[in-house]
Amino acid sequence: MQRIARQAQQADGFVFACTEYNYSVAPALKNILDWLSRLPDSQPLSGKPVALMGAGGGMGTSRAQYHLRQSAVFLNLQPLNKPEVFANAFAGGFDDQGNLHDEKIAALIGEQMNTLVAAIKATR
């Protein structure tokens, strides 16, 4: 936990590529965020920008991402509002090895990363 806390403290921002479990965030991601929030005298996530994205069935990971945004309020993370990146993992945008080849999604990810870089620069 100390290594993860140190890495989070040193990070300028975050990218959370989340999966969706029962309309919510994957337990592993939620658990690490909860542990980081409980560190005494340390808030390694506070005030830092975060990009959210994910690929899943149907609506991508939209429900998980919206739930993660609720957790971000308590953590004082600063999620990017746009662009939102939701990819349907079963609609032909990925090959058999999981590599993305959907140009529209790839462009959204690029735009989101540029937005994240700008948000990080603005917080310095």
Are 107 and 1 in contact, with CB atoms under 8 Å apart? no
Domains of the chain with bracketed CATH:
2-123 (3.40.50.360)
The pLDDT, as a whole number, for residue 78 is 97
> Using CA atoms, how far apart are residues 83 and 51, in angstroms rounded to an integer?
9
- State mean pLDDT over 21-43: 91
pLDDT per residue as tens digits for the range 70-116:
999 999 999 999 999 999 888 899 999 989 999 999 999 999 999 99
- Residue 1's pLDDT band (cuts 50, 70, 90): confident
pLDDT at 42 over 90: no
